[in-house]
Each structure stands twice: as structure tokens, then as C-alpha cells.
Amino acid sequence: MSEANGTQTSTAAGDALENLLQENRKFAPSAEFAEAAVAKPGVYAEAEADRPAFWAKQAREVLSWDTDFTQALDWSGAPFAKWFVGGELNAAYNALDRHVENGLGDRVAIHFEGEPGDTRTYTYAQLTEEVKKAANAFESLGVAKGDRVAVYLPMIPEAVITMLACARIGAVHSVVFGGFSADALRSRIDDAEAKLVVTADGTWRRGKPSPLKPAVDEALSAPGHTVTNVVVVKRNGEPVDWHEGRDQWWADTVQTASAEHTPVPHDAEHPLFILYTSGTTGNPKGILHTTGGYLTQCAYTHKVVFDLKPETDVFWCTADIGWVTGHSYVTYAPLINGATQVMYEGTPDSPHQGRWWEIVEKYKVSILYTAPTAIRTMMKWGDDIPAKYDLSSIRVLGSVGEPINPEAWMWYRRVIGGDKAPIVDTWWQTETGAHMIAPLPGVTATKPGSAQVAVPGIAVDVVDELGASVPAGHGGYLVIREPWPAMLRGIWGDPERFKETYWSRFENMYFAGDGAKKDDDGDIWLLGRVDDVMNVSGHRLSTTEIESALVSHPAVAEAAVVGAKDETTGEAVVAFVILRGNAAEDPDIVATLRAHVGKEIGPIAKPRTILVVPELPKTRSGKIMRRLLKDVAEGREVGDATTLADNTVMQQIAASLKA
Ligand code: WTA
């Protein structure tokens, strides 16, 4: 970690700590809830006694294996883990066919609600049939076990169908969030050497058609890629360019394929998917997950953390499948567990700000899983909006993606949860695959703002600079001490980067990149990233990646990006740029640069603010002191600048911003 960042962290963490230390409310589950809960207090001790054995038990309980495994964990090649060695299974069979075989074919798997108000319902039998067709179609296009498939789709059932069809045939899906640009899509296609792309003509955003296919065409316009076919779902009916021979309509390939398809078993460690996420350097990392361990922890946590009763619950996770939350808690866990879920395509305020609550009322959603940024937005819209709907079906509320401030937590509980639904704040990452820290709603007395305790079978800790465990009441770095089933198995094509990124900071521990604190009860409070990763609306963005995008524009000489506190989005992207030549005379330069970042990475990465400055604050070794820029971006008095190579820089910046 750079000198600049180390200091930045302690300041940000210090502020957060101040606020959190005053929080001492606790909400114990009602006796009735605790009595009926899936998880009981004894589970922690049971897991602690023998973690691998505990996970082996869960693996056999939540999954059906074609070949039983012979060893729970092989850690001899650490930090590359092997879980459930020798076991064989098929992820799609576990998510679908077996439920049909068990007489649950008529249970609703997905209630789909499109933004324009169209709806579709898939029972387990119907979804199984669709996935079999897609598996046949992809195979007929030459996709075989181990091949990579890029998925660039909106939140429509075809996204889940595509992912499961890949899993069924052993192809590795790489979902690219629909909000990413053609350039970002191309670099992910190239890195994974994808053979097939599955996309749609487009989707809807706030009542307007929003295209997707043009980005795929642009991504594939330059030669040298590995893609042989593009399958296109017709969703919004907008005209699209067509590449004969390469492009295929979903309706012509998947819909017409046979609905007979026998799943073949895959090794427990067979790659299931790659998902790219931002790190501290410019290139996104392809996080690799495999089959048996990932599915075990997804399904287990979905059951115990949300207290899932698949016969009666209606689960709704609002995350897009482009993010890990959509992978683990839309595509995989709910279906493995045979649950009924809601899938919604659009934005929360389309056509009105009560859309989510209308959906909760309509489908009687009982477990809602969303992000603090959404909760804060809805808080701003006002209590009278959710008050118009019957939310009495809700019995558990989940939060994910960033620390939830106590005020938003309390609002969520009171206004959405009727002052009684337990809130589970779940800490985890793309890399961890599934929940790692979260209360168990029938066991833990929850605290507003804290994720609190490790999931049974998971060993997390907070350590100091030297890696020593900190006592209760102290802060430090969040680490994971023991391998866990859903852990990433590496970074696609770059084993060294995997070791370097996660395993080099502390010996024999996985370093998550987050700061955390233990309170007097030993409960964990997350304090945000301690590296160059920003968290905007729960989406990970790398400061370096946005800086690279900015300097790739000819008008920019140098750029520095910081995440500044934002009431709604948690953090917002603020960029400081030094312009070349007379670019500063161009009145549209800021708009041009924002659009450029949008094109390079995607609209989510566009800086909220771009400030043109004459210089950037650097240390004598040339590192940008982002902490000082963060002070400027957040309107604070600038902190200690004595380590700057040129100590007049901050005055120059201040003067230029006033001008
Ligand atoms: C942050 C999302 C506090 C954290 C599942 C982590 C959280 C990063 C929480 C991973 C939470 C996620 N409380 N912070 N409950 N959940 N984070 O990979 O900084 O998109 O490292 O995975 O989000 O983001 P990712």
C-alpha cells in the first residue's frame, strides 16, 4: 500500500468510527422468529469444531452429487484451494432437473417483471426446459466444455437461462454488466477468449429503449477476436445491424432447439464462471469460481442468512446479474434451494417511485435483498411512497455492497420491515463468492450498521499492520484466516497476480482490502476500502482504471481520481486533471472528458465532478497523495501536506478552483 493511501485510510476510517461508536442499539429476534428459524445457535460451535467437516456436511445436504467426494479440502497447494476433491456434479441439474424429479416442477422459479409492465412466470419445469434448449443450441454452435461464453444481457430470464445452460454443458460464463462500454466488453472478451456472445437488442431504462447489440457490434468490429457467434434475444424490438453467419436470433436457435438434454457430471473444481472486477491496477481481474464449493456456500448462506423456507418464501434480490450478487443470489442460490424468486428488469422509479413496493405487494415478497444506496435513495423519496403499499409479507431484509449507515438501517427496518423484520447486513466480495460476515436472523441480536459475525464455518479476523489480531474495541484490516468453499480459485490467466493481490500483505491470510473494527462485543463493523478501489452505489471502481481512461484522451496530461463521500451513492468519482496545451480554453472539455470515460469504461464510471488543476500533489517518490485531493473533493480543510515534493501545490490547486 502506498504511503498516501495508508494515511488516507486512517482519516476516513477515523471519521466513520466516530459515528459508529455512538451506535449501541440492538434488536434481538422475536421468540417466535427464533423458534421457527432455519439456523439455531449451536451451529457456530458445530462449525468451529471442524470446518472442513462442517462444509462437507453442507455440501451433501444442499447439493446432489453424481460422484461423492473423498476429501473436503485439499489445501496442499495453498493459496490455491481444492474443495470436495473427487466429487462430480452438474450445477444446472442441481438448480433445475432434480426439483422437477422431486415433484416440484409446478413451483414457480421466477416471477419476471419487465420495466414496461410485461410479466412472465417460469415454473421449475418450464425453466428446466428452456435451459435444456439453450444447452442444445449452444452446443450446436460449437460451444464445448471449458469454452468461454460472454454474456451481455439485461435483467431478463434469458440471462439466468444462458448462465445455467453454460453451466450444464461445462462452458464457463463471463457475464459483463450491460452498463459497460464496447471497449470494456472487448477487453473482457479478449482476456477470456470467449467463443460465443449472448446479448439482446436492448432493454428499457426509465421508459426508454436502451440498446445493447450496438456495443457488441462495436466490440467485435476490429479483427483479432475469438468470437464465432452472437446469439441475440429480442427484447425491445429496436432495429439492429445484422452480421450474417455470425449473428443468430435466440428465437431461431434456442427456441427451436430440442428440449431433451442429459446433464453430464463435472468435477467439483471445474470452472463455473469468470467475473471481472476492479482492482487497484488498471486492468480488471477475471475472478475465477469453480463448481462444488461455490454452490455449497451460496446455497447454505442463502438458507441460513435469509432464513429461507423455500415452500413459502418469495425471495427478491434486486442486484443485476452483471455483479456477483446477481450470480450468487439470483442465478444460483435461490434455484439450488428450490425457492421462488422475483426478477425485475428496470429502474426503481419507472414509471413511478413506488415501483419496487408495488412489486413487493403484487408477489408478496417475503425476503428482500438490496443495497444501501437504493435504501438511501428511497429514504430521500419519502416514507409516504412505501406507505401506499401492503408490505406486510416482508419478514427478512438484506443489505449488501457497502457499509450501511445506522440511519438507513433504521429506516429500512421501520418503514420497509414494519419495525419487526430482522435486517441482515451481508459482507462479502466477488472474490469470496458468497456471504462471509452476516448475522443469522433467528440467532443474532442485530446492530444497526454492523455485519457483526462470520458465517458459521468462516474464519474472519481484524488484524493490525503486522498481522496480529486486534483486541475488541480496536480497528485494523479485515482478513480471512482459513480457506472457504466459495473462495476464488484464482485470477483468470494470472496466478501470480492472485498471490500478490490477496496473499502477500499478511502471511497465510487472505487480505480483503477492507478496513474494519471490532466493537466491545467482538462484533465486526466494516469501514470501507483501504486501497485504491472506490465503491459507488455498491459498484466497485478502480481509481487507476478511471485515471488511465482520462489520460488516454489527448487533451489530458495527468489525472488523479478519488472517491468523495456522497450522501446517496456512498462515494462519488471526483477527478483532478491537468490539461495539455490550450485544451482548457475549450468550454466543453469537462463534458467531453466525462463522455470519454463513459466510452472507455461505461456510464457508471463517469466522474461526478472533473476539476481542472495546474498541478497534482505528489510525494518525493512521485506518488499522488490522494488523501489531500479527497480533502478538496469533500470540501474539508486540507490535511498534513508536509511530505509533498512541492508544498505550494495545494495552494495552487485551491487558487485555480476559486478562479
Ligand atoms: C464492499 C459485492 C460493507 C467491501 C458483494 C467489499 C461491503 C466490496 C459490504 C466488494 C457490506 C460489500 N458492508 N462493505 N455489507 N458488502 N462491501 O466485489 O468494500 O462488488 O470489499 O462484491 O464491497 O464488492 P464486490
Tens digit of each residue's pLDDT (9 = 90 or more) over 30-69: 999 999 999 999 999 999 999 999 999 999 999 999 999 9
Grid coordinates representing 373 are 444506496
Q: How far is the CA of 371 from the centre of ligand 1 (A)?
A: 10
Q: Identify whether the C-beta of residue 151 lies closer than 8 Å to the C-beta of residue 176.
A: yes
Q: What is the model's pLDDT at position 641?
A: 80
* pLDDT tens digits for range 179-197: 999 999 999 999 999 999 9
Q: What is the pLDDT of residue 370?
A: 97
Backbone angles phi, psi at 375, to 5 degrees: -60, -45
- Tell me if 623 is assigned to a ligand binding site: no
| Beta pairing class for 490-491 and 285-290 | antiparallel
H helices, E strands: number in the chain: 23, 30
21 — pLDDT class (breaks 50, 70, 90)? low
Are 253 and 228 contacting, i.e. CB atoms less than 8 angstroms apart?
no
Cell of 47: 462449525
pLDDT tens track for 132-175? 999 999 999 999 999 999 999 999 999 999 999 999 999 999 99
480 — phi, psi (to 5°)?
A: -120, 125
Nearest-atom number in ligand 1 for the CA of 540 is: 20
Burial 596-623, CB ≥16 within 10 A → b, else e:
bbbbbbbebbbbeebbbbebbbbeeeee
Question: For residue 220, is pLDDT > 90?
Answer: yes
What is 406-425 written as a DSSP string? HHHHHHIIIIISTTTS-EEE
For ligand 1, atom 24, name the residue with the nearest CA. 429
Taking only the tens place, the pLDDT of each residue in 436-451 is 999 999 999 999 999 9
Q: Report the 10 Å Cβ neighbour count for 325.
A: 23
pLDDT-derived band at 23 (thresholds 50, 70, 90) equals: confident
Would you kindly state where each structural domain of the chain is located, as residue ranges? 7-89+286-528, 91-264, 553-658
**Dist. CA 404 → ligand 1 center (Å):** 11
Between CA 461 and CA 469 the distance in angstroms is 7
Instruction: Report CA(400)–ligand 1 centroid distance (Å).
Output: 7
How far apart, in whole angstroms, are the C-alpha atoms of residue 343 and residue 629? 40
Rounded CA-CA distance 213/210 in Å is 10
- 354 sits in which H/E element: none
> How many other C-beta atoms can be found within 10 angstroms of the C-beta atom of residue 287?
23
Distances (CA, A) of 72 to 304, 454, 455: 21, 20, 18
| pLDDT of 8 above 70 | no
Please work out, in degrees rounded to the nearest 5, the angle formed at the alpha carbon of residue 42 by the alpha carbons of 39 and 45: 120
Residue ranges with strand state E in 429-474: 460-463
- For 282-324, how does the pLDDT look when each residue is reduced to its tens digit (9 = 90+)? 688 999 999 999 999 999 999 999 999 999 999 999 999 999 9
Ligand 1, pocket residues at CB < 6 Å: 277, 323-325, 400-403, 425-430, 451, 512-514, 526, 529, 535, 540
Q: Is 214 exposed, middle or buried (0-12, 13-18, 19+ CB in 10 A)?
A: middle
pLDDT in tens, 570-594: 999 999 999 998 998 999 999 999 9
Q: How many CB atoms lie within 10 A of CB 313?
A: 22
CA nearest to 302, candidates 415, 173, 441: 441
The CATH-assigned architecture of domain 7-89+286-528 is 3-Layer(aba) Sandwich (3.40)
Ligand 1 atom with minimal separation from the 431 CA: 18
- Please say if the pLDDT value at position 255 is more than 80: yes
Which residues have a Cβ under 8 Å from the Cβ of 75 and sit 6 or more positions away?
Answer: 81, 82, 483
Three-class DSSP category at 106: coil
Contact 528, 404 (CB under 8 A): no
Q: How far is the CA of 514 from the centre of ligand 1 (A)?
A: 8
| Residue 12 pLDDT exceeds 50 | no
Average pLDDT on 95-106 reads: 98
632-652 pLDDT per residue, tens: 999 888 888 877 878 788 888
Mean pLDDT of 518-527: 94
Residue of minimum CA distance from atom 5 in ligand 1: 429
Residue closest by Cα to atom 10 of ligand 1: 429
- Residue 95: what are its φ and ψ, rounded to 5°? -80, -25
pLDDT of 5 higher than 60: no
The model's pLDDT over 371-426, given as tens digits with 9 standing for 90+, comes to 999 999 999 999 999 999 999 999 999 999 999 999 999 999 999 999 999 999 99
Task: Please provide the average confidence, as pLDDT, over all residues in the chain.
Answer: 94
Predicted local confidence at residue 214, as pLDDT:
97
ipTM here: 1.00
For 372, the 3-state DSSP assignment is: helix
**Nearest C-alpha neighbor of 160 from the set 302, 317, 364, 348:** 317
Ligand 1 centre and the CA of 325: distance in Å? 10
Q: 25-34, 227-236, 618-627 — which is least confidently predicted? A: 618-627
| 15 marked ligand binding residue | no
What local confidence, expressed as pLDDT, does residue 67 receive?
A: 98
What CATH code would you report for 91-264? Answer: 3.40.50.12780
pLDDT over 50 at 460, yes or no: yes
Does residue 22 have a pLDDT over 70? Answer: no
pLDDT at 624: 83
Measured distance CA(262)–CA(267) in Å, rounded:
16
- Using only C-alpha atoms, the chain has a radius of gyration, in whole angstroms, of 24
List CB contacts of 466: < 8 A, sequence separation 6 or more: none
Atom of ligand 1 nearest to the CA of 277: 18
Mean pLDDT of 257-264: 98
Per cent of the chain over pLDDT 90 is 85
Could you tell me the CA-to-CA distances from 106 to 62, 83, 96, 332 in Å, in that order? 20, 33, 12, 19
pLDDT at 76: 98
Ligand 1 midpoint to CA 430 (Å): 8
426 is in an annotated binding site: yes
Q: Strand (E) positions, 139-201?
A: 148-152, 172-175, 196-200
553-658 matches 7-89+286-528 in CATH topology: no
| Grid cell in block for residue 472 | 475488541
pLDDT: which is higher, 641 or 521: 521
Give the pLDDT band (50/70/90) at residue 565: very high
What pLDDT shows up at residue 20? 61
Q: Determine the pLDDT at residue 15.
A: 52
Which pLDDT value is given to residue 16? 55
* pLDDT score of 212: 97
Residues in the chain: 659
| pLDDT score recorded for residue 528 | 87
CA gap 145, 149 in Å, rounded: 11
Residue 178 has pLDDT above 80, yes or no: yes
Predicted pLDDT of residue 1: 31
Q: Which CATH superfamily is domain 553-658 in?
A: ANL, C-terminal domain (3.30.300.30)
553 is in an annotated binding site: yes
What is residue 11's predicted lDDT score, i.e. its pLDDT? Answer: 44
Q: Does the pLDDT of residue 4 top 50, yes or no?
A: no
**Per-residue pLDDT averaged across 93-102, rounded?**
98
If one counts every other C-beta atom within 10 angstroms of the C-beta of residue 19, the result is: 12
The amino acid present at 160, given as its one-letter code, is V
Structure-model confidence comparison of residues 263 and 655, the more confident one? 263
Nearest Cα residue to 439 out of 10, 9, 5, 33: 33
For a ligand 1 pocket test, name from 510, 514, 530, 542 the mutation site with the most ligand atoms within 8 angstroms of its C-beta: 514
